[in-house]
């Protein structure tokens, strides 16, 4: 049976966080608030949990989830290496609404789907998400909605779509409407080209160019 906790109430915050940690540890799913939209979260290193996340959303392995991390210090453990440009992006925009697609450490024991050796990483700017990440470590997190439906801006809205497929819902009020900006930095990491914006979102292209300069490709058609 799913449980919904209002984290704006101290007693529910304590109970909800405790049960959320327990759910993640046993490979179950949790809906959490972030600084963008609400996310459905699973242990990134549990193949079964990631599969359950994709199934709950109605997605296949061809759409691997991003991974939320607790801070910049986790980046070198998950990225194959960290060039100066990637460090600059992380310092400028984390925690915040920037997701970076990087070449993953080849030794990582996880299966996020058909990633082709890459992973999308972000540090969210939300205290509930950061507190949970500090306890659990990296979490596979995708927007808390069925594929093709609007992203949830409250835990209650996520519950309407996802129901009993999620064990614990953490409510923190209405979220922002903008999703994160997604930037592919794999070409920079490989020395074969510039960073590329895959999806416009919370971080503007102008702000990215202020950091990257000519290491950011000119604007092209983007994901929506």
Pairing of strands 39-43, 30-32: antiparallel
Boundaries of every domain in the chain:
3-215
Question: How much is the CA Rg of the chain, to the nearest whole Å?
Answer: 17
Assigned CATH topology for domain 3-215: DHBP synthase (3.90.870)
What is the per-residue pLDDT for 124?
97
pLDDT in tens, the chain (224 residues): 789 999 999 999 999 999 999 999 999 999 999 999 999 999 999 999 999 999 999 998 999 999 999 999 999 999 999 999 999 999 999 999 999 999 999 999 899 999 999 999 999 999 999 999 999 999 999 999 999 999 999 999 999 999 999 999 999 999 988 889 999 999 999 999 999 999 999 999 999 999 999 999 997 654 44
Predicted TM-score (pTM) of this structure = 0.94
């Amino acid at each position: 049976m799913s449980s919904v906790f209002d984290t704006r109430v101290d007693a529910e915050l304590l109970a909800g966080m405790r049960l959320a940690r327990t759910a993640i540890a046993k490979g179950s799913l949790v809906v959490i608030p972030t600084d963008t939209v609400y996310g459905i979260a699973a242990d990134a290193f549990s193949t079964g949990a990631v599969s359950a996340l994709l199934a709950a959303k109605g997605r296949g392995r061809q759409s691997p989830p991003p991974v939320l991390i607790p801070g910049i210090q986790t980046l070198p453990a998950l990225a194959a290496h960290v060039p100066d440009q990637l460090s600059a992006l992380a310092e400028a925009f984390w925690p915040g609404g920037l997701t970076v697609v990087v070449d993953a450490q080849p030794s990582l024991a996880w299966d996020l789907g058909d990633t082709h050796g890459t992973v999308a990483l972000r540090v969210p700017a939300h205290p509930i998400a950061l507190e949970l990440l500090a306890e659990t470590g990296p979490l596979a997190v995708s927007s808390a909605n069925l594929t093709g439906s609007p992203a949830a801006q409250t835990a209650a809205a996520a519950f309407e779509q996802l129901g009993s497929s999620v064990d614990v819902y953490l409510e923190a009020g209405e979220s922002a409407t903008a999703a994160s900006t997604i930037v592919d930095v794999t070409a920079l990491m490989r020395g074969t080209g510039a960073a590329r914006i895959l999806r416009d979102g919370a971080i503007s292209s102008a702000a990215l160019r202020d950091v990257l300069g000519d290491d950011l490709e000119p604007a092209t058609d983007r994901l929506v």
